[in-house]
């Protein structure tokens, strides 16, 4: 826990308490707390409309969502994925007894590099697990073209991608599955939570059963599942959050713009370019610390701490250097020069609605030196 003065990398969005209370009172009155009850169904319908999709499964968190989406592959085999991500991404592969294969990322969008993906495909490859990272979108057209050519599934870890759009459409409409996180630190949160968006009805119905221990309506159990259900409290919080998301993203956009204006001029600091045709959610503000800067990204992180600013090094170290992944195919840093270089240089600085101009000035001035 940080003291009140520390400027944190993010703060959770909280809906006004008076808007949550009537929903909580309803839960207390009806005593329906979970098992796909009223608010869970309402949030599901609302999000389907929001994303323009038909098949969505709400889950208790994105880690379980990824595990379930990958379970549809029916192992064994390899899954091509990125080293530049949160550890839940490769963990979801291992939980399914599948083998992660790491390939390098694109230096502009921070997602999987399609050329490297195609080179890594073997007869054992089952799927591509790509991540829309830190407010960018990976090269979905190229990745999906490769997947179609080699008859592979595409699963997007869209944990960071709520409300992100490409060509005016929600990015979670892409791929066979997109898995969102509604964790406290995300642009839209249900305290803990997530969703799996499925392209087709068959997968949607299957995942709907699998997230409830594989039980179908008539209590038949035909396949392995687990309990990944979203509870009514989380669903109610989500419904109360939704009307405020657009304003929150607009606040983030303004903070992003101010950082870009000021930090874009600092020698030795590189920014991740905004992508044409993509509507970002401004969920993170990563900066890259170049050799000509007066210190390394680690040293800058420590320096910011002395000023009461807690930045975070998402994602450093790469997941592929963790001991349990370092012997996987493709995990050698030599195979991952772009991801290694970005991970060595990255620092995510505070961005969230409610970050005051004075606090933002302190962050900027502490970096300017």
Summarize as ranges the residues that interact with ligand T4K (CB under 6 A): 8-12, 61-63, 85-86, 88-89, 131, 157, 159-160, 181, 183-185, 194, 310, 312, 314
Are 105 and 111 in contact by the 8 Å Cβ rule? The answer is yes
Least separation in angstroms between CB 194 and ligand T4K: 5
**CB-nearer residue toward ligand T4K: 88 or 117:** 88
Least separation in angstroms between CB 301 and ligand T4K: 12
Least separation in angstroms between CB 262 and ligand T4K: 22
Are 345 and 355 in contact by the 8 Å Cβ rule? The answer is no
Say if residue 327 is exposed, middle or buried (CB neighbours under 10 Å; 0-12, 13-18, 19+).
exposed
Selection from 53, 73, 68, 65 nearest residue 153 by Cα: 73
| Local structure of 268: helix, strand or coil | coil
Strand partners, 288: 270, 346
Least separation in angstroms between CB 3 and ligand T4K: 12
**CB-nearer residue toward ligand T4K: 11 or 173:** 11
Q: Taking the CB of residue 328, how many other CB atoms lie within 10 A of it?
A: 21
Least separation in angstroms between CB 192 and ligand T4K: 6
Least separation in angstroms between CB 342 and ligand T4K: 15
**CB-nearer residue toward ligand T4K: 184 or 266:** 184
**CB-nearer residue toward ligand T4K: 272 or 293:** 272
- Which residues are within 8 A (CB) of 310 and not within 5 positions of it... i.e. 6 or more apart? 2, 6, 7, 8, 9, 304, 350
Are 188 and 13 in contact by the 8 Å Cβ rule? The answer is yes
DSSP string, 179-237: EEE--TTSSS--SS-EEEEESSHHHHHHHHHHTBTTB-TTS-B-S---B-PPPHHHHHH
Least separation in angstroms between CB 179 and ligand T4K: 7
**CB-nearer residue toward ligand T4K: 86 or 259:** 86
**CB-nearer residue toward ligand T4K: 293 or 318:** 318
H helix intervals, 121-198: 140-150
**CB-nearer residue toward ligand T4K: 3 or 18:** 3
């Amino acid at each position: 826990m940080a003291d009140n003065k520390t400027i944190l990398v993010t703060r959770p969005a909280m809906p006004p308490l008076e808007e949550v209370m009537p929903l909580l009172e309803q839960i207390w009155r009806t005593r329906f707390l979970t098992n796909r009850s009223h608010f869970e169904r309402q949030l599901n319908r609302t999000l389907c409309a929001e994303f323009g999709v038909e098949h969505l499964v709400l889950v208790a968190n994105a880690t379980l969502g990824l595990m379930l989406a990958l379970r549809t592959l029916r192992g064994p085999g390899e899954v091509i994925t990125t080293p530049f991500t949160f550890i839940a991404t490769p963990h979801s592969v291992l939980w399914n007894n599948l083998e992660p294969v790491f390939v390098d990322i694109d230096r502009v969008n921070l997602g999987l590099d399609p050329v490297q993906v195609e080179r890594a495909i073997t007869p054992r490859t089952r799927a591509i697990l790509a991540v829309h990272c830190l407010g960018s979108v990976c090269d979905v057209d190229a990745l999906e073209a490769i997947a179609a050519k080699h008859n592979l599934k595409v699963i997007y870890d869209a944990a960071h991608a709520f409300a992100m759009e490409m060509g005016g459409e929600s990015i979670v409409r892409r791929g066979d599955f997109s898995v969102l996180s509604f964790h406290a630190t995300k642009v839209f949160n249900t305290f803990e939570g997530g969703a799996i968006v499925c392209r087709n009805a068959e997968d949607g119905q299957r995942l709907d059963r699998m997230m409830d221990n594989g039980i179908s309506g008539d209590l038949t159990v035909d396949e392995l599942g687990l309990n990944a259900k979203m509870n009514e409290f989380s669903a109610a919080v989500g419904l109360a959050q939704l009307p405020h998301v657009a304003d929150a993203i607009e606040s983030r956009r303004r903070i992003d713009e101010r950082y870009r204006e000021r930090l874009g001029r600092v020698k030795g600091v590189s920014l991740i370019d905004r992508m044409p045709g993509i509507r970002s959610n401004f969920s993170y503000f990563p900066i890259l610390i170049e050799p000509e800067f007066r210190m390394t990204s680690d040293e800058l992180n420590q320096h910011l701490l002395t000023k009461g600013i807690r930045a975070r090094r998402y994602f450093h170290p790469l997941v592929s250097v963790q001991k349990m992944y370092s012997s996987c195919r493709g995990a050698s840093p030599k195979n991952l020069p772009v991801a290694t270089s970005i991970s060595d240089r990255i620092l995510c600085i505070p961005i969230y609605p409610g970050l005051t101009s004075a606090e933002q000035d302190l962050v900027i001035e502490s970096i300017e030196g």
